[in-house]
Amino acid sequence: MSLKERLMEDMKLAMKEHDKERLSVIRMVRASILKAEKDTVKTLEDAEVLDILAKEVKMRRDSIEDFKKGNRQDLVDQAEFEIQVLMEYLPKQLSKEELEVIIKEAISESGAQSMKDMGKVMAKVMPKAKGRADGKVINEIVKSLLN
């Protein structure tokens, strides 16, 4: 079953169970997928759907920081719930230790010596961690290992 089909089935289930919050999140991500399909004039594959899901999670994580600054705990809770629902569709996330192993391999493969070589390392790491790790976390680990 493709991700789009799974989202559709979960949407139907949420409707039957009258789970309005979950239904809202699923509809939102389906709308993003449909918009991307209309923009590109093609049917998206699972890898492209994963990119959209990861982008939606990243947007919410960025929003949480702003909501905390504004003392809006209600919006923080809502964004965290949405992230929790979206994470169900993403592959299992890599732990910090697993990321460090991948990054150390990339550093040795690319021969990176300093922060100037960060782009080379990121270019090798991102395809391996795509959808399974937040780019911000990867960036922080690369910086710490190159310093």
Chain centre distance of CA 123: 17
Domain limits, CATH 1.10.1510.10, in the chain: 3-87
Topology of the domain comprising 96-146: Arc Repressor Mutant, subunit A (1.10.10)
Residues 6+ apart with CB under 8 A from 137: 96, 99
Is residue 76 scored above 80 in pLDDT? yes
Q: Are residues 61 and 80 in contact, defined by beta-carbon separation less than 8 angstroms?
A: no
Residue with tokens 């920081």: 65
Domain limits, CATH 1.10.10.410, in the chain: 96-146
Mean pLDDT of 94-123: 85
- pLDDT score for 30: 95
Q: What is the pLDDT of residues 14-45, one digit of tens each?
A: 999 999 999 999 999 999 999 999 998 999 89
- Asked if the 3-87 domain carries CATH number 1.10.1510.10, the reply is yes
